[in-house]
Amino acid sequence: MHNKDIDAYLSEFQCQDEFWQIEKTLKSERQKNSPWSIHFYITRGSTEKEAVKIINEKRRKLQEKRKGSLSPASAYFWREKGLSIDDAIQRAEEWKKSIGKLPTKAALIEKYGEKEGIRKWDEYKEKIANRENKALDNLVSSGYSIEEARIIRSMKKGNTLAPFFCWESYKTYRKAVDFVTHLMWVSKGRDYEDRKNNKTLDHQFSCYGGWVEKVSPFVVGSIYNLEWLDKKENERKGTYCSKAKDQLLKEYTENSDNEIRQGSDIWEQINEIINANC
């Protein structure tokens, strides 16, 4: 959405050295507040050796959590159950064959003819929708909101990101914002019609603005900062902001109905991945 390089802006205002010196200082300060940084534990009384041990233990627990969500289509899933490498690969292939190849509308029409193929395609979509609705209903019955349930389903079906420190660079910050933005889009059930109308999902207070002003990716990627914008208009907008930072922060902090509630288990899971520390 915002493709202009940071260095181009810094060069334009001739402030590269000052910016990166400040950024270096801020990075050092942020490390002291990051549970994934050795500095975090050293500044709290641990030795460097103890800090390394604590971080490795956190990584081990996170890896175990991720392994628990592996699909039976993965050989790793069966390796965790004690099978040998060869048996795990074979079992994964058997599982994939047992559920059959996912159909496409075109393939069904080609095989059964247009009328019957479309009927089978509609039948397949309804079956998948019913399965998804049942999973969402179970999560809602467990106490989650419908938005939270959609986020959980999306994270379970997608590939979980490896942990990364979002304040390390603009690239990692943007990665965090895009991840949160995707989850916000999912939480509202997605609006494919807007996409068909050549529109793009825009951050009103820009991602670059969020990086410079150190605004949480949870805020910049939140539903209060998103709008559908004509693709060409979005390109012209670039890194400029159509919403003030103070207005965005006010809407975000004063609204008690955020899709990802700070302190919730979902917030903790996402914050563990993107390590936003905010």
pLDDT at residue 4, as a whole number: 47
184 touches 176 (CB < 8 A): no
DSSP one-letter string for 77-125? HHHTTT--HHHHHHHHHHHHHHH-PPP-HHHHHHHH-HHHHHHHHHHHH
pLDDT at residue 64, as a whole number: 60
Exposed (0-12), middle (13-18) or buried (19+): which is 101, by Cβ within 10 Å? exposed
pLDDT at residue 177, as a whole number: 92
pLDDT at residue 132, as a whole number: 80
pLDDT at residue 40, as a whole number: 79
- pLDDT tens digits for range 106-152: 888 888 899 998 998 898 888 888 888 888 888 888 888 888 888 88
Q: Which residues of the chain have pLDDT under 70?
A: 1-34, 36, 61-71, 96-102, 157-160, 190-197, 256-259, 262-263, 276-278
pTM for the whole structure: 0.57
